[in-house]
């Protein structure tokens, strides 16, 4: 079998043709994100039967998330300016037309708190208008745009939660030891009291209130290694475990859209599995198996719970969305995220388990390039960001792109990743650049020893924490990796912790517990900061940098590049003046991936689609190479 045909970068890595499909509350319309003529993702809507499809926004920067307001006539979305994370909340009026900025305040970050079927003309939004470190809750009337303070933050609340009538009645507080305190009150005007408190080892998060307002649904690992789904009665204090597994945390919870009781919960060991709690939905989940081989999730429902939008996730095929009729238990295909890939030959993603040097079992995913290889292929170790997240099974555009170029791709849920219980999570505390890094090294040796990869041709690639891991690999295991790609990556941990955004104040104790204190732990943090060990970096390095990144010091990547350039190392710095912590503009995203592809081909020998000219047309890339500089056109 020959290698799979080369798939164009724009097809694999451009904006999905249709994604994030959401049903209107009355079930009559469907919305989705799709690129406009310039490739910028906008909100589109149509009738459920597909007629009257049209864009509803004309944003200059890609819209990445949105939701329906409960009035069914308004769509809500957040948008920042060139990646600065100063999000404003916008309302898109479907009947009257036009887009309004509901939070038109400079240097203020908005977060949507809640909508409610009982109050369709009202939403709750959080703003750090009074104090940039803390968000207060404001009540907004959609029809008029009127905005008024609802709940003031006392100076320690990370998140407020409202009940079914938009009364703010729960608050999550991150404690100085990294634990969590859950406060509740009986009415919006009542006094706050502590309901639960857990220490820094435990996970506690509110899913939401039941319709009666007396029960809270929680994710908590209190009394267990893994996070369980629990119903907690406020009046009696009684707690009931609704769903749990001993090996993994609860991943997703399905609540009835108006009755607000739990219907099902999902767990993700290697792939997604569902535990049914409400027998009413059991026949639906059983019948959904007919959609095909893949993992099912319910992404949207109408208010009457008669129609569902179901996503089918597979490893080789892009996500497909279906309209599911509960009355007839029948489905109709709505969209594929990337129909241009319908006939392309993807590469299967295998779930594997790797033993770390200290015996910890590391869940991982291995994707091999399609075709019969006579020799082990080159390997790209693709490291997830966070680090408090995890890799999952399913269609991953970056993984499929790398596999299509001829690389084996290994994704490791190293210690410190979430989803596998608190012991696994906290095994990563204070282990940046140490045992977390050892896990990645051990995974490479595992793949090479089993013949999955050529040990002389290994690259490491990642963004954010994954970018840090790539730089740490280049500095601390310099001969294991042929090259490293690091996007929006911290290279100086002391600077990262000292320069965190002000609105991360609520997370400060978690960062201290899991990463370190820049003063008390400065020596250890400096010992694992790649910037301070640039003289050890031997492999070529490609750095991606957003000039508006609010999470990193603005001179982080430029400083590392300068240090590498001074000693004549092989380094490339690609900066985008209109990006932040992540590359959103389609021209910039494709431009950076084109450079990664060329870089990997040069050093590992994989296949490469040429990049015509110095940059992708429309990209704002400013490129510095060791000994050279390429300004934007």
Active site residues: 464, 549, 581
Rounded to 10°, the helix 435-449/465-476 angle is 70
The torsion defined by the Cα of 398, 401, 405 and 410, in degrees rounded to 10, comes to 40
3-state SS, residue 166: coil
Q: Which of these, 238, 153, 237, 161, lies nearest to 195 by C-alpha position?
A: 237
The Cα 21–Cα 319 span in angstroms is 11
Q: Which of these, 116, 70, 100, lies nearest to 213 by C-alpha position?
A: 116
3-state SS, residue 13: helix
Contacts of 328 (CB under 8 A, 6+ apart): none
180-184 and 168-174: which strand pairing?
Answer: antiparallel
Max Cα–Cα distance, the chain, nearest Å: 71
Cα angle 251-254-257, degrees, rounded to a multiple of 5: 150
DSSP secondary structure of 247-305:
SS-EEEEEE-TTT--EEEEEE-SSS-EEEE-SGGGHHHHHHGGGG-SSEEEEEEE-TTS
The Cα 106–Cα 447 span in angstroms is 50
3-state SS, residue 195: strand
Q: How far apart are the two ends of the chain, measured CA to CA in Å?
A: 43
Tell me phi and psi for residue 495, to 5 degrees. -65, -40
């Amino acid at each position: 079998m020959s290698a799979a045909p080369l798939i164009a970068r724009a097809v694999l890595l451009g904006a999905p043709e249709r994604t994030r499909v959401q049903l209107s509350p009355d079930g009559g319309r469907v919305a989705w994100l799709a690129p406009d003529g310039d490739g910028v993702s906008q909100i589109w809507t149509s009738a459920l039967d597909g007629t009257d499809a049209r864009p509803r926004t004309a944003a200059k920067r890609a819209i990445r998330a949105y939701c329906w307001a409960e009035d069914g006539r308004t769509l809500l979305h957040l948008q920042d300016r060139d990646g600065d994370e100063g999000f404003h909340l916008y309302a898109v009026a479907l009947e009257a037309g036009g887009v309004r900025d509901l939070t038109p305040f400079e240097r203020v970050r908005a977060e949507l708190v809640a909508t409610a079927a009982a109050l369709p003309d009202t939403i709750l939004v959080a703003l750090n208008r009074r104090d940039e470190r803390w968000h207060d809750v404001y009540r907004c009337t959609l029809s008029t745009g009127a905005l008024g303070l609802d709940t003031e933050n006392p100076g320690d609340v990370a998140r407020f939660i409202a009940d079914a009538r938009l009364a703010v009645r729960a608050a999550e507080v991150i404690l100085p030891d990294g634990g969590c305190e859950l406060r509740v009150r009986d009415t919006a005007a009542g006094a706050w009291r502590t309901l639960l408190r857990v220490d820094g080892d435990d996970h506690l998060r509110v899913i939401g209130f039941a319709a009666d307002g007396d029960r809270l649904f929680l994710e908590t690992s209190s009394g267990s290694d893994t996070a369980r789904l629990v119903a907690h009665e406020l009046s009696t204090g009684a707690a009931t475990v609704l769903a749990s597994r001993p090996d993994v945390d609860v991943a997703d919870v399905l609540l009835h859209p108006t009755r607000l009781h739990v219907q099902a919960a999902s767990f993700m060991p290697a792939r997604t599995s569902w535990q049914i709690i409400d027998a009413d939905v059991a026949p639906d989940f059983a019948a959904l198996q007919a959609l095909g081989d893949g993992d099912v999730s319910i992404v949207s429902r109408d208010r009457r719970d008669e129609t569902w939008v179901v996503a089918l996730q597979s490893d080789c095929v892009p996500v497909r969305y279906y309209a599911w009729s509960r009355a007839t238990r029948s489905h109709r295909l709505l969209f594929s995220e990337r129909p241009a890939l319908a006939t392309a030959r993807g590469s299967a993603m295998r779930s594997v388990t790797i033993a770390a040097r200290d015996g910890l079992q590391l869940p991982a995913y291995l994707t091999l390039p399609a075709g019969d290889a006579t020799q082990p292929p080159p390997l790209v170790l693709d490291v997830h960001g966070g680090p408090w997240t995890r890799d999952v099974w399913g269609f991953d555009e970056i993984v499929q792109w790398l596999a299509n170029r001829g690389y084996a791709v290994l994704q490791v849920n190293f210690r410190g990743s979430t989803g596998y219980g608190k012991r696994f999570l906290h095994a990563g505390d204070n282990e940046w650049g140490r045992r977390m890094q050892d896990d990645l090294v051990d995974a490479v040796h595992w793949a090479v020893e089993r013949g999955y990869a050529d040990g002389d041709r290994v690259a490491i690639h990642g963004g954010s924490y994954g970018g840090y891991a790539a730089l740490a690999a280049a500095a601390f295991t310099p001969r294991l990796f042929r090259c490293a790609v690091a996007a929006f990556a911290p290279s100086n941990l002391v600077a990262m912790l000292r320069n965190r955004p002000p609105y991360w104040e609520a997370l400060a104790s978690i960062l201290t517990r899991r990463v370190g204190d820049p003063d008390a732990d400065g020596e250890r943090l400096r010992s694992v900061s790649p910037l301070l060990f640039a003289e050890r970096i031997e492999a070529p390095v490609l750095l991606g940098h957003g000039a508006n990144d609010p999470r990193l010091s603005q001179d982080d990547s430029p400083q590392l590049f300068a240090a590498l350039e001074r000693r004549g190392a092989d380094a490339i710095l690609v900066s985008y003046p209109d990006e932040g912590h992540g590359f959103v503009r389609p021209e910039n995203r494709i431009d950076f991936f084109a450079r990664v592809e060329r870089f990997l081909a040069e050093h590992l020998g994989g296949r490469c689609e040429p990049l015509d000219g110095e940059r992708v047309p429309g990209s704002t890339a400013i490129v510095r190479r060791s000994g050279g500089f390429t300004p934007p056109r």
